[in-house]
Amino acid sequence: MPNQKFIFPEQQFNRLFPFYFIIDSDLKVLRVGKSLSKLLPEMEQKKIDEIFIFKRPGHDELSFQTLGQLNQLIIIESKGAERITLRGQFEYLDDSNHLLFAGTPWFYSMDQVKAKKLTLHDFAINDPMIDLLQVLKTEEIVSGEVKELLEHMQRQKNESQTTAQRLGQLITNLQAGILLEDENRKIVLTNNTFCQMFGIPVPPEQMVGWDCSLSAEQSKHLFTESEAFVEKLQTY
């Protein structure tokens, strides 16, 4: 089968690789993809080492030949205050003796994409970056909602505890005798007045957990007239 050459019009090539650039043998930038030009508008006719720092692989001295032989992932970062990181690869173009860099920018959040004034249309349809960022954004939103819910539940718990403490303090200081029990007839709360009414010689907090159905029998040994105490409590 004879070798066939693929020729792409620039508009079509930009749809496939919107962040590409091409350099000549002097390492000067000749052409820049439409989306990359939005990020770095003054690339053309500059040498690549004036624009980028090579993060992977790290090379002190760059040459056209060296770049053309790099058969691996390339990570470059733009110089200047606003750093742009590109991930991609170099391909040697035989016909023109140029090097093509085809890659995509690396972002950590959708906010970064918006800050650079990029939209979905600035990325190739097959670029997984946007899908990844949308997943991360969704996880961020869900994590934020879960955190907010947990904080709300904790606030409610704290408020309930504060309310319970205030209610307990109020009941403890009431002049009327109070005794609260749970569904298992265990004493939850009582007060000094109740203990005084029935002559119970223990602090009210010590009675918490007592079985109400057996409390009279449990306490009668504390009294001189124990049977009278039981009878009085049962008729209360």
What is the residue whose two structure tokens read 């650039």?
Answer: 21
Among 135, 154, 189, the domain boundary falls at 135
Is there a domain that residue 155 lies in? Answer: no
Cβ-count burial 127-159 (b if 16+ within 10 Å, e if not): beebeebeeeeeeeeeeeeeeeeeeeeeeeeee
pLDDT of residue 217: 59
pLDDT in tens, the chain (236 residues): 456 677 778 889 999 999 999 999 999 999 999 999 999 998 999 999 999 999 988 766 778 998 988 889 999 999 987 889 999 999 999 989 999 999 999 988 888 888 899 988 899 988 888 788 777 777 777 777 777 877 878 888 888 788 777 776 776 666 677 777 788 878 888 888 888 877 788 888 888 888 876 655 555 555 555 566 556 555 55
Is there a domain that residue 201 lies in? Answer: yes
Among 93, 118, 135, the domain boundary falls at 135
pLDDT of residue 234: 55
- Residue type at 50 in one-letter notation: E
Range(s) of the domain holding residue 216: 168-234
Please tell me the pTM assigned to this model.
Answer: 0.58
Q: Report the CATH number that the domain containing residue 65 is assigned in CATH.
A: 3.30.450.260
Is there a domain that residue 178 lies in? Answer: yes
Q: Are residues 77 and 19 in the same domain?
A: yes
pLDDT of residue 1: 47
Q: Are residues 124 and 224 in the same domain?
A: no
Query: DSSP string covering 166-185, please?
Result: HHHHHHHT-SS--EEE-TTS
CA–CA separation, 65 and 137 (whole Å): 41
Is there a domain that residue 3 lies in? Answer: no
Which residues are bridge partners to 29 per DSSP? 23
The helix (run of H) or strand (run of E) holding residue 53 is strand 52-56
pLDDT of residue 74: 93
pLDDT of residue 84: 92
How many domains does the chain divide into? 2
Q: ∠ CA(84), CA(85), CA(90), 5° rounding? A: 125
Q: Are residues 40 and 128 in the same domain?
A: yes
Q: Are residues 21 and 106 in the same domain?
A: yes
Is there a domain that residue 110 lies in? Answer: yes
Is there a domain that residue 102 lies in? Answer: yes
pLDDT of residue 191: 81
